């Protein structure tokens, strides 16, 4: 892995662990085993490096979600696959956590890939819900966009509850509850 990639990967991890303010250029350089000159050779500064890290995290999150969405099966099965996929629940969502970082939210550039990824996720889920409605799997009265927002809120809220309690049980309970509400009638 080259210096640029080591810097981006180190920044990704530090943003997840510490947030933007807690991620200093010195900490990035130490974790990446790169000098200050190398960092500024590849990136204009901390914000440019953070943007590259956030964009890479967003692409990775989309790719992981897309595997669940494209796995075949019914709409319910694909939503279930997304909700039950393996996650490090106690660490939280690397994109969702950035929404609570005031410096990320205050920056249009840093906020954009976060917002775009959450919008993409809701759009994908809404499309799956629409498919389920068309196939008679879900009630025709369901609003696909509202259900998609509920799925995203359940996942993000589940991370928060799990972190607060120190146990993934709260996340798992939220997922089970949502799936029972979405379960097609027998």
* Position 184 confidence tier, pLDDT thresholds 50, 70, 90: confident
> What element of type H or E holds 91?
none
Per-residue confidence (pLDDT) for residue 39, from 0 to 100: 86
State both tokens at 18.
């510490």
Residues 6+ apart with CB under 8 A from 133: 139, 140, 142, 144
State both tokens at 30.
């130490």
Per-residue confidence (pLDDT) for residue 71, from 0 to 100: 82
Q: Chain-centre distance of CA 83, in angstroms?
A: 12
Residues 6+ apart with CB under 8 A from 5: none
**What is the Cα–Cα distance from 144 to 126, expressed in whole angstroms?**
5
Q: pLDDT (tens digit, 9 = 90+) per residue, 60-98?
A: 999 999 999 998 899 999 999 999 999 999 999 999 999
Q: pLDDT (tens digit, 9 = 90+) per residue, 96-153?
A: 999 999 999 999 999 999 999 999 999 999 999 999 999 999 999 999 999 999 999 9
Q: Chain-centre distance of CA 117, in angstroms?
A: 7
State both tokens at 114.
């976060």
How big is the CA angle at 104 (ends 151 and 8), to the nearest 5 degrees?
Answer: 95
Question: Is the confidence at residue 36, as pLDDT, over 90?
Answer: no
How many C-beta atoms surround the C-beta of residue 37 within 10 A?
A: 9
Give the number of residues written for the chain: 186
Per-residue confidence (pLDDT) for residue 186, from 0 to 100: 62
**What is the Cα–Cα distance from 21 to 128, expressed in whole angstroms?**
37
Residues 6+ apart with CB under 8 A from 142: 129, 133
Per-residue confidence (pLDDT) for residue 40, from 0 to 100: 87
**What is the Cα–Cα distance from 109 to 15, expressed in whole angstroms?**
15
């Amino acid at each position: 892995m080259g210096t640029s990639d080591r810097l981006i990967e180190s920044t990704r991890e530090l943003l997840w662990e510490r947030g933007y303010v807690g991620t200093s250029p010195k900490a990035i350089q130490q974790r990446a085993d790169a000098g200050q000159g190398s960092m500024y050779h590849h990136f204009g500064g901390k914000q440019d490096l953070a943007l590259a890290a956030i964009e890479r995290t967003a692409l990775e999150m989309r790719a992981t979600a897309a595997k669940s969405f494209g796995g075949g099966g019914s709409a319910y099965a694909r939503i279930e696959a997304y909700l039950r996929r393996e996650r490090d629940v106690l660490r939280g969502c690397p994109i969702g956590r950035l929404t609570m970082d005031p410096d990320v939210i205050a920056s249009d550039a840093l906020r954009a890939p976060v917002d775009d990824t959450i919008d993409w996720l809701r759009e994908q889920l809404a499309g799956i819900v629409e498919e389920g409605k068309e196939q008679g799997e879900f009630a025709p009265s369901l609003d696909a966009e509202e259900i998609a927002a509920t799925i995203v809120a359940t996942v993000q809220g589940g991370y928060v509850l799990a972190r607060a309690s120190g146990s993934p049980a709260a996340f798992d309970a939220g997922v089970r509850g949502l799936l029972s509400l979405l379960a097609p009638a027998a």
